């Protein structure tokens, strides 16, 4: 008997978004759709990638995917979970819960907050 593979809903908001450099790691994942967090987070510019932190006041835009255990392990390696980012269950606005990679707020001192809550908008603004 074939064992059903366990799937996890993951919220992505930066380099894993469709069209962004690390999206290849989600090849084969099922796109659930665009999503946003409840307004309880802050998105920071960490240079080449964003960092999501809890206890903020912004709703963060992203996408939700359903991934299997192998894909989740690959994402954990990319994000350095649990030493760099910490994968945590968060509440989405009207779409239940999903796992997301949060950054420890203590390591974000001096980093600019992305007021729009959208990495893509931020990248466009940085270019202009």
CA distances (Å), origin 73, targets 8, 88, 110? 11, 14, 31
Least trusted range by pLDDT, from 13-22, 59-68, 87-96: 87-96
Quote the pLDDT of residue 3: 52
- State yes or no: is 115 an active-site residue: no
Q: So what's the pLDDT on residue 93? A: 93
Hey, what are 56's tokens? 């903020």
> Under DSSP, is residue 71 helix (H, G, I), strand (E, B) or coil?
helix
Tokens 């203590």, residue?
106
pTM across the whole model: 0.94
Q: pLDDT for 37-58, tens place per residue?
A: 999 999 999 999 999 999 999 9
Q: Catalytic pick from 61, 63, 79, 99? A: 79
Instruction: Please enumerate in sequence order all residues whose Cβ is within 8 A of that of 112, keeping only pairs 6 or more positions apart, or say none.
Output: 44, 45
pLDDT tens for 97-108 read: 999 999 999 999
* 3-state SS class at 102: strand
Q: What is the pLDDT of residue 95?
A: 78
Confirm if 29 and 79 have CB atoms less than 8 A apart: no
As a 3-state breakdown, the chain gives helix, strand, coil percent values, each rounded to 5, of 20, 35, 40
Multiple choice CATH, 8-126, 3.40.640.10, 1.10.3720.10, 3.20.80.10, 3.10.490.10? 3.10.490.10
């Amino acid at each position: 008997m074939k064992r059903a593979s366990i799937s996890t809903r993951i919220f992505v908001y930066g380099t894993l978004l469709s069209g962004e450099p690390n999206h290849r790691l989600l090849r084969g994942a099922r796109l659930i759709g665009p999503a946003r967090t409840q307004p309880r987070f802050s998105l920071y510019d960490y240079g080449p990638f964003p960092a999501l932190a809890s206890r903020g006041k912004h709703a963060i835009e992203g996408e939700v995917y359903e991934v299997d255990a192998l894909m989740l392990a690959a994402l954990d390696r990319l994000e350095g979970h649990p030493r760099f980012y910490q994968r945590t269950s968060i509440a989405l606005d009207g779409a239940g819960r999903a796992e997301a990679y949060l950054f420890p707020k203590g390591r974000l001192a001096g980093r600019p907050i992305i007021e729009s809550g959208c990495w893509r908008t931020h990248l466009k603004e940085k270019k202009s």
